Structure 1
C-alpha cells in the first residue's frame, strides 16, 4: 500500500541547484601531472591560481610532476632501525669495548 506522498524523501527547498542559484563558476585550467609509475593525474585549478610544481598521485601516493619524460623520483623509504642499530652507527666496535670495560671497572670497584 502506498502512503500517497508523491514527493517522498524530499523536503521543502531541496532540488537541483543550477547556475542561477550558485553563481557563475570560475574559469578552470586542467593540468596534467605524471608520477614515476606513469600514472596521469589531471586536477583542475582556477585560471588565475598558481599551479604547484608537484602533485601527489592519488593512485600510488608518489610525487608527480608536469614533465612526463622526467617525473620526480619516488621518496626513499628507510627501513625501521632499532636503538642498537643507531648506536652502532655512532660508535665503532673499539669504542663500544672501551665503554664496556669502563662500566665493568666501575661496577667491580
Structure 2
C-alpha cells in the first residue's frame, strides 16, 4: 500500500540546485572597506560595475572607505532638541514676550467676560 508520491524526497517549490542548472554567475571582485572603528568589510561587485568610494559598515553603521589608514569620519549626531529649543531658534526673546503678553491679555479678557456673564 504505497502513498504514490512520484517526487519523493523533494519539497514543493524546490528549484534547481547548483550552478549547472542556473548558468554561470557574473565575474565578481571583492573590495575591502574600512570604517573608523577599524572594522574590515568585504563587499562583492560585478567586475564591470563601478565600485563606490564609501560603503556602510554592517557591524557599526559608520561609513567605510577603501583606505585603511584614513577611514571616513563617523557622522556627527546632533543632540536631542526640545520643542522650546526649536522655538527659540526661530523667535527672539522680544517676540516671545510679545506673544505671551498677547495671549495673557486674551485670557484675561475671556475671564472677565465669563465673570460678567455669571454676575447677570
**Which of the five TM-score ranges fits, normalised by the shorter chain?**
0.7 to 0.9
Please state if 1:18 is matched with 2:18: yes
Q: CA RMSD in A?
A: 2.6
Q: How does 1:56-95 map to 2 (within 5 A)?
A: 56-95=56-95
The structure with the largest alpha-carbon Rg is 2
In structure 2, the residue matched to 1:5 is none
Give the Cα–Cα distance (whole angstroms) in 2 for the partners of residues 23 and 80 of structure 1.
Answer: 52
CA distance in 1, matches of 2:52, 2:59: 19
Instruction: Give the number of equivalent residue pairs.
Output: 102
Unpaired segments ≥5 residues, structure 2: 1-7, 110-120
TM-score for the superposition, normalised by structure 1: 0.75
Runs of 4+ in 1 over 3 A off after TM superposition: 8-12, 105-109
CA distance in 1, matches of 2:73, 2:53: 14
| Structure number having the greater helix percentage | 2
Question: Where do 5+ consecutive residues of structure 1 fail to align?
Answer: 1-7
Alpha-carbon spacing, 1:104–1:19, altered in 2? closer, same or farther (3 Å): closer
